[in-house]
Amino acid sequence: MKKLSILVFFFAALLFSSSTMAQTTEDYFVGEWNVQIKDTPMGTISVLLTLERVDGKLVGKFVDAASSTETKMNDITEGDNSLTLNFTSEYGDLYFTLQREDDENVSGSLMDSFAVSGTRVKK
């Protein structure tokens, strides 16, 4: 009987931890991120990227730290551990990609040309 109880407890704990990990992975990008776009013709650009899940879909915006200009994402495509964020700027339709590095950091590129790095804003 004791072995059965231990076995049931083990499977319940495994089930709970699996569902918790899935939720964490799904919403990894939700929140605020300090993002830097490096070595552009205008130098390094710093933005505050805000992502949230609305009706099951990831939506977001970023605010340029230098000008306080807000830009909303037109579309966000989610991968397993990555995002592609599409937006429109004065330079036309652009995109940047982000990939999960660890629990607090992302990396990627703007238009496959300029390196992007980001750190989660801690609340």
* pLDDT tens, position by position, 30-56: 999 999 999 999 999 999 999 999 999
Q: Are the CB atoms for 96 and 112 separated by under 8 Å?
A: no
Q: State the average pLDDT for the chain.
A: 85
Could you tell me which residue, 23 or 43, shows the higher pLDDT? 43
Q: Residue 26 has what pLDDT?
A: 66
Q: In sequence order, which residues have a C-beta less than 8 Å from that of residue 84 and are 6 or more positions away?
A: 76, 77, 95, 96, 97
Q: Does some domain include residue 4?
A: no
Q: Does some domain include residue 106?
A: yes
Q: Residue 123 has what pLDDT?
A: 81
Q: Does some domain include residue 67?
A: yes
Task: Count the domains in the chain.
Answer: 1
Q: Does some domain include residue 17?
A: no
Average pLDDT over residues 60-79: 96
Residue 2 has pLDDT above 60, yes or no: no
What's the CATH number where 41 sits?
Answer: 2.40.128.520
Global confidence as pTM: 0.78
Q: Residue 39 has what pLDDT?
A: 95
- Which DSSP symbol is given to 3? H
Q: What six digits make up the tokens of 42?
A: 């205008």
Residue 115 sits in which domain range? 29-120
Q: Does some domain include residue 51?
A: yes
Residue 39 region, left (φ>0) first, then alpha (ψ -120 to 50), else beta? left
Q: Does some domain include residue 94?
A: yes
Could you tell me which residue, 3 or 101, shows the higher pLDDT? 101
